[in-house]
Amino acid sequence: MSQGPTTYRSSASQHSQHSRSISQFLQDETTDEELIQLVAEAKHQVRLLNIENEILEKAIMRLDPTLMQGVSQALELAAKLQSNSSLNIGSFAKSQTSKFGFFDQSNPSRIIVSPSRISTRRVESSAKLGGTAFGTGPRVNIIEKAELVSTEMEIVIANLDKTKRNAARKHGLLRAQLEEVGLRMTEMENAEKMFHNDVIVEGWDKIAQRIPAEIWIRFMTEWVKICDSQIGKLRLRTSTLNTQHSKLKGQIKVKAELSESLRAVDFEKLKIENSECMKLIEKKLQQLGELKKMTGDANLNLTIHKKAMMAQNSYLTNVLKSIKMKEQQTVQLDKERDVIAAQADSLAEKLDEVRKVRMAYEVPDIMDYVHVKANLADLKHSIKMLENRLHIQQIALASLNRKLNAILVKEMEEK
């Protein structure tokens, strides 16, 4: 528990060592690059010391806060000594600017050093004064520092995990609230659209120029029914979720009780049971592999027989198609046979009639034929003569009609 004052002693001793390194630096010739590098190293050491002091302060405040009572006074004393040492270094640098360099008036804390050697006895004395203020007591070794850092890291990681869990819980709650708000917004938008369509647009009475109260009441009753149905569904869902939550809570409680009552023997028993189950699973897997082989052989035989059956089915379909085609052809041939039979019967009847006519036909006498032909020629001559007379009479009738028309026209003109 004595690590708090020891920390500040180590920091003071490191500060004295750093002042000695500065004095040694001022005694030698240095360049600007080396000076910048030394300043960077000093800043890095200061940063590391600040981190170590923070870790040690947290460890002390966690273990025993009473040890930090005199630390503030020690820090104030160290700050005063550091300011005194810096003032001594500044006065010494101002006194030495006439010999070895010059003082920058724009930045009083900066000294432009010449390449020559500089005497720094007052700086060493001030550094020694700062080192003797705290003494050189026991320091915190690397192992203890590593332990402190590891404990602080564990605490920080635990706090970070706790913060992550809380953040995840809050994030889930906020996401659920956002989903609830989104559902409410969609429901409100749907209700607004339904109200606008059912009441304002469709319920508007053009004759009375108003919305009837019956439409409003009907809309509200229907909306209440819809809300009641949704409330019933939500209640049912809530009851199921509550039952699931209680079931899961009971399972978690049982598991917690079992985890408290478990012993090493139970784990050994479980390991033995798991090994036996693994052996049984391996055996079943081997049987499954054999069954898969048998199934593959059966599937191969099935595919072969299936292909043969498909070929037989295709041949059977072709045979059935040919049978149907032959039946249609036989029906058509039967029809043609009936038609041909009817034609044969009619031709047979005609043949019988022709035979009867032929049997009853007698060849006339030649002289009768000559007389008939002569009479026919006389008749044709007489017909021709009559046609000529008819043509002549038609011409005469046409001339008489023309004359009659001319006479009638003259009479009409004279009248």
pLDDT (tens digit per residue) in 344-376 = 999 999 999 988 888 877 766 788 888 888 899
What letter does residue 365 receive in the DSSP assignment? Answer: P
CB neighbour burial string for 50-75, b if at least 16 within 10 angstroms, e if fewer? eebbebbeebbeeeeeeeeeebeebe
pLDDT of residue 185: 92
* SS3 of the chain: helix, strand, coil, percent, to 5: 85, 0, 10
74 and 8 Cβ atoms separated by less than 8 Å: yes
Q: What would the pLDDT profile of 259-273 be if each residue is shown by its tens digit?
A: 777 777 777 888 899
Q: What is the mean pLDDT of residues 144-169?
A: 87
Residue 137 CB contacts under 8 Å (≥ 6 apart), including other chains: 5, 6, 9
Confidence at 20, pLDDT banded by 50, 70, 90: low
Distance (Å, whole) CA 149 – CA 155: 10
- DSSP bridge pairs for 101: 113
Query: β-strands 101-103, 111-113: how paired?
Result: antiparallel
Q: 113: which residues sit within 8 A by CB, 6+ positions away?
A: 26, 30, 35, 100, 101
Report yes or no: 94 and 38 within 8 Å, Cβ to Cβ.
Answer: no
CB 135 within 8 A of CB 11: no
Highest mean pLDDT among 49-53, 128-132, 211-215, 332-336: 332-336
Calculate mean pLDDT across residues 390-397.
Answer: 92
Model confidence at 190, pLDDT cuts 50, 70, 90, reads confident
Instruction: Name the pLDDT band for 19 (thresholds 50, 70, 90).
Output: low
CA 291, 292, 293, 294 dihedral sign is positive
Q: How confident is the model at residue 35 (pLDDT cuts 50, 70, 90)?
A: confident
Task: Give me the chain's average pLDDT, please.
Answer: 78
**pLDDT category of residue 246 using cuts at 50, 70 and 90:** very high
- pLDDT at 38 > cutoff 70: yes
Amino acid at 200: I
Q: What's the mean pLDDT in 39-53?
A: 87
Categorize the per-residue pLDDT at 138 as very low, low, confident or very high, splitting at 50, 70 and 90.
low
DSSP per residue, 143-194: HHHHHHHHHHHHHHHHHHHHHHHHHHHHHHHHHHHHHHHHHHHHHHHHHHHH
Identify which of 152, 147, 145 has the alpha carbon closest to the alpha carbon of residue 49: 145
pLDDT of residue 21: 54
The pLDDT score that the predictor gives to residue 24 is 54
Please, which residues bridge with residue 279 across strands?
A: none
Judge if pTM exceeds 0.85: no
Exposed/middle/buried for residue 415 (C-beta within 10 Å: 0-12, 13-18, 19+): exposed
Cα–Cα separations (whole angstroms), residue 319 to 52, 311, 333: 100, 12, 21
Phi, psi of 157 (to 5 degrees): -65, -40
